[in-house]
Amino acid sequence: MDLLKEWQQLHQEKFNYSPIEKEQIMKAIYQESNSTISTLKKRLAGKLYWIIFFLIAGGIWMLFSLDQPELLMIQGGFMAAYLLGLIVMGLEYRKMDTNLDFNDQTLPLMKKQDQLIKRALNFEKIWGMVAFPLAILGGLLLGHVERGRTLADFFQDPKSLGLALILIIVLVPIMYFVTNKMNKFAYGDLVDDLQNNIRRMEDLA
C-alpha cells in the first residue's frame, strides 16, 4: 500500500486551494499578533499603564498633602513600591517575546514558549501576592489618617492591626485562587498541550 501515492491523490482533490489574496496577506502582516506571548505581553502592558496611572494620581495627591507629613509618608512609601514595580515589570515587558523565533526547530520553540508562559503567569502571581497585601494595608492606613488619627495610633491599636491581618489572611488566598483559576481557564489547555507535546517529543529522543 503506497501511502505517499494516496496522499498525492488526496492532495489534488482536497488541498487544491486558490491562492490567498494579496490584500489579505498585506492586512495580516500589519495586524497585531494573536499569539499567546503577545496576549500575555498586552496584559502586562495593561498593568504597566495602571501603575503609571497610580503614580500620576498619587503624585498629584501628594502635592495636595504637603502639610500632612504622616499622610505624605504613606503616600511616599506607596509611590516607591509602585515605582519599583514599574521598573521590574518594564524590564520583564521588554524581554518578553524577543526570545521566540518561529524559524527555530519545533521542539526548542515549544520549550521556550512553555517557559515564557510559565514565567509570565508566575510573575503575575508574585506581583499579586506583593501588591494585594500592600493595597489592603495602604487602604486601611489611609482611611485611618484621613479620619484624623496618626500612624502610630494604627500600629498601636490591636483592633486595627487585627483587622489588617484578618483581611490579608482571608483576601490574599482568595485572590491567589481566583487568579490561578482564571489563568488555568485561559491558558491551562495550551500549557497542557505544550507539555504533552514536549514530553512526547523528548520521549522519542
Residues that bind another protein (CB under 8 A): 1, 3-4, 6-7, 9-10, 13-20, 22, 24-29, 31, 33-36, 39, 101-110, 113, 186-187, 189-190, 193-194, 197, 200-201, 204-205
Q: Which is nearer to another protein, 117 or 137 (CB)?
A: 117
Q: 79: Cβ–Cβ under 8 A, 6 or more apart, which residues?
A: 55, 58, 59, 62
The least CB distance from residue 115 to another protein, in Å, is 12
In angstroms, rounded to a whole number, what is the distance separating the alpha carbons of residues 89 and 152? 33
Q: What burial letters (b/e) apply to 177-186, b meaning 16+ CB within 10 Å?
A: eebeeebeee
Q: Which is nearer to another protein, 160 or 195 (CB)?
A: 195
Coil/strand/helix, residue 1: coil
Name residue 71's amino acid: L
Q: Which is nearer to another protein, 67 or 203 (CB)?
A: 203
In angstroms, rounded to a whole number, what is the distance separating the alpha carbons of residues 76 and 5? 73
Name residue 44's amino acid: L
Q: Which is nearer to another protein, 143 or 188 (CB)?
A: 188
Cβ–Cβ < 8 Å for 44, 96: yes
Q: Which is nearer to another protein, 74 or 117 (CB)?
A: 117
The least CB distance from residue 49 to another protein, in Å, is 23
